[in-house]
């Protein structure tokens, strides 16, 4: 609380007053028509306080307000309001996330990905309970710590991470039979890094997270996998039916299909140029 500026302390007092008023009116059934969920930027927080869940959209400009955000999270927790944090630019460190977990263990962390494609691009959104997300951070940090301790140049680091993930993660062959909610969990960082089983997008997300943590540029790609290049691309395939990665080493970009390499151990699927990367 000592880190907060005076105006932020006053804002917190205003927020607490509004929350208290809402609590009183709820007991008297005076605000039963309030929306279940509200979302928007941090500066509009007082407009959302009647909701049961608040989704805060955080931008780079909010980074200097981290102590204020943490105080809000704790306050909302005390009044039984769920909170989701949406970072459009990353402002919280891993330690910040663990601090948030302590203050409000029900916080939801939402990760948004822009999937690149030869045809088009699309967004993927993954939600995690902050406890699960902090477990993901632990796994990622552990692997990156071992990598840095044993390898110095980016090429060796990338190869080590790729081989470690390929050995650790198995492909979920029965994904089509999974209930929707379970499939979502398998298809992301939780499935890949915590449960060790996932599908192609989970492989790609895990590699992107680990290499990015090491400071190596890595993108998630989406497209199709075919033995021969089709003469035309049906509209239904514009979103892609497979995911892999492109990794930048030096001045060049290389393709990595961790899904294929995990099962085949074929070196033509990792860190190869476009000519070698056939069928994608």
**Max mean pLDDT range (28-32, 227-231, 234-238, 257-261):** 257-261
Same domain, 191 and 233: yes
Are residues 264 and 134 located together in one domain of the fold?
A: yes
- 3-state SS, residue 264: helix
169 with 100, same domain: the answer is no
In a domain, 139, yes or no: yes
- 140/265 same-domain check: yes
Let me know whether 230 and 160 are in one domain.
yes
CATH number at residue 260: 3.10.620
Q: How many domains, in total, are found in the chain?
A: 2
pLDDT in tens, 157-211: 999 999 999 999 999 888 777 777 777 778 889 999 999 999 999 999 999 999 9
Q: Please give the average per-residue pLDDT across 217-243, as a whole number.
A: 65
Angstrom CA distances, 11 to 20, 63, 103, 117, 209, stand at 14, 17, 19, 44, 35
Domain span including residue 34: 6-106
Instruction: Encode pLDDT of 22-81 as tens digits.
Output: 888 766 554 544 567 888 899 899 988 888 889 888 888 888 888 899 899 889 988 888
Does the residue 278 lie in any domain? no
Same-domain check for residues 50 and 140: no
Cα–Cα distance between 169 and 148 in angstroms, integer? 21
Task: Give me the pLDDT at residue 235, please.
Answer: 41
Residue 2: the pLDDT is: 56
**Does 280 reside within a domain?**
no
Secondary structure (DSSP) of 178-222 = S-HHHHHHHTSHIIIIIISEE-HHHHHHHHHHHHHHTT--EEEEE
Centre a 10 Å sphere on the Cβ of residue 219 and count the other Cβ atoms it contains. Answer: 18
Q: Which of 41, 73, 106 marks a domain boundary?
A: 106
Indicate if 145 and 99 belong to the same structural domain: no
- Indicate whether 80 belongs to any domain: yes
| Statement to judge: residues 150 and 85 lie in one domain | no
Same domain, 101 and 136: no
């Amino acid at each position: 609380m000592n880190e907060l500026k005076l105006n932020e302390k006053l804002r917190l007092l205003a927020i607490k007053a509004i929350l208290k008023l809402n609590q009183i009116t709820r007991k008297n059934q005076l605000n039963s028509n309030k929306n279940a969920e509200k979302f928007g930027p941090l500066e509009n927080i007082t407009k959302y306080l009647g909701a049961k869940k608040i989704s805060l959209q955080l931008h780079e400009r909010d980074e200097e307000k981290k102590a204020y955000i943490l105080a809000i999270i704790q306050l909302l927790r005390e009044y039984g309001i769920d909170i989701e944090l949406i970072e459009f630019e990353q402002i919280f460190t891993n330690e910040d996330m663990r601090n948030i977990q302590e203050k409000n263990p029900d916080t939801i962390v939402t990760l948004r990905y822009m999937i690149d494609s030869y045809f088009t691009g699309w967004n993927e959104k993954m939600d995690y309970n902050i406890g699960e997300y902090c477990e993901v951070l632990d796994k990622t940090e552990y692997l990156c710590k071992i990598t840095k301790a044993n390898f110095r140049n980016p090429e060796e680091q990338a190869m080590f991470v790729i081989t470690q993930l390929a050995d650790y993660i198995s492909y979920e062959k029965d994904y089509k039979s999974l209930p929707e909610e379970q499939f979502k969990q398998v298809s992301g960082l939780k499935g890949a890094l915590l449960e060790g089983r996932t599908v192609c997008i989970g492989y790609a997300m895990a590699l992107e997270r680990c290499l990015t943590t090491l400071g190596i540029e890595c993108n998630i790609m989406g497209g199709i996998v075919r033995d021969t290049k089709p003469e035309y691309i049906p509209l239904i395939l514009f979103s892609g039916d497979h995911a892999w990665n492109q990794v930048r080493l030096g001045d060049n970009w290389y393709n990595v299909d961790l899904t294929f390499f995990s099962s085949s151990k074929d070196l033509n699927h990792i860190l190869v140029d476009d000519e070698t990367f056939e069928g994608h």
